[in-house]
């Protein structure tokens, strides 16, 4: 008798979900996306693997120029976070490593120091006030949305941090790359940054920019 009860009850619940599982929306990167994120993978094809990502487990590839690596687990890499208002990334900072001045255009960030010592800070927009502090292992720091901020390995060992964001697609705009690693004409860079053309051309050379 109990079994029959269950059977009937399940019918009600199942009929309410026949078209889609709406608890989540694992991104299907092969379909057109929209302002809110990727279209959803069919629920029948979603497995536990869609919600797990191992790409942050290993040290990222350290870039000599900055002696650091950023490894993202944003929606394009980890489609399980699509639509859920959150994502993660891993920062590896070799000795003297730096994550240069940058912003995340669409998200606030919290950083957790897994290992090492990191000097981190951000700059307020209204009065250019700087907030920075040296963080020890286990400390966390929050960086409000869209503000310029940086992280520097201030210790004597390599450092590792896990950062999380208030968006599955926080974006990452490194100021130097935005200014010098593209074809924005030198005179426009000069006019909008107060830097002189010779320096701009030199930095474009280093960072791969042209014009």
11 is in an annotated binding site: no
Cα 43 to its chain centre, rounded Å, is 26
Considering the rule CB under 8 A, would residue 23 count as an interface residue with a copy of itself? Answer: yes
Minimum distance from CB of 190 to a copy of itself (Å)?
10
Among 48, 50, 53, 55, smallest CA distance to 40 is for 50
Among 116, 173, 197, 198, binds a copy of itself (CB under 8 A): 173
Residues 48-107 interacting with a copy of itself (rule: CB under 8 A):
48-49, 51-54, 56-58, 60-61, 63-66, 69-78, 80-88, 98-101, 103-107
Total number of residues that touch a copy of itself (CB under 8 A): 147
- Backbone phi and psi for residue 139, each to the nearest 5 degrees, phi listed first: -75, 150
**Nearest partner of 45 among 20, 74, 82, judged by Cα:** 20
Is 197 one of the binding residues for a copy of itself (CB under 8 A)?
no
Residue whose C-alpha is closest to residue 53's, from 168, 208, 181, 172:
168
Please, are residues 86 and 170 in contact by the beta-carbon 8 Å criterion? no
Output the CA torsion 93→98→101→102 (10° steps): -20
Q: Does 133 bind a copy of itself (CB under 8 A)?
A: yes
The residues in 174-193 that bind a copy of itself, with binding defined as CB under 8 A, are: 174-179, 181-184, 188, 191-193
Nearest to 162 by CA among 194, 116, 97, 101: 116
The annotation status of 102 as a binding-site residue, yes or no, is yes
x-or-dash pattern for a copy of itself, window 134-153, by CB under 8 A?
A: -xxxxxxxxxxxxxx-x-x-
Q: Is 201 in the site for a copy of itself (CB under 8 A)?
A: no
CA distances from 207 to 173, 175, 181 (A): 14, 12, 5
Residue numbering of the annotated binding site for Mn(2+):
102, 104, 109, 149
Residue numbering of the annotated binding site for oxalate:
104, 109
Residue numbering of the annotated binding site:
102, 104, 109, 149
């Amino acid at each position: 008798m109990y079994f029959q009860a269950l059977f009937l009850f399940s019918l009600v619940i199942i009929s309410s979900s026949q078209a889609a599982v709406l608890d989540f929306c694992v991104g299907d990167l092969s379909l057109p996306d929209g302002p809110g994120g990727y279209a959803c993978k069919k629920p029948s094809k979603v497995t536990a693997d869609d919600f797990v990502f191992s790409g942050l487990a290993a040290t990222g590839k350290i870039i000599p120029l900055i002696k650091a690596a950023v490894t993202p687990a944003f929606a394009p890499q980890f489609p399980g976070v699509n639509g859920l208002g959150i994502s993660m990334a891993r920062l590896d900072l070799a000795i003297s490593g730096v994550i240069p001045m940058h912003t995340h255009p669409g998200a606030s960030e919290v950083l957790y120091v897994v290992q090492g010592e990191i000097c981190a800070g951000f700059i307020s927009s209204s009065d250019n006030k700087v907030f920075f502090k040296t963080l020890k292992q286990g400390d966390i720091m929050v960086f409000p949305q869209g503000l310029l901020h940086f992280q520097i390995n201030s210790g004597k060992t390599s450092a590792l941090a896990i950062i999380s964001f208030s968006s599955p697609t926080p974006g990452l705009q490194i100021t130097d790359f935005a200014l010098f690693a593209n074809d924005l004409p030198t005179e426009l860079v000069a006019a909008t940054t107060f830097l002189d053309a010779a320096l701009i051309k030199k930095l474009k050379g280093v960072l791969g920019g042209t014009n």
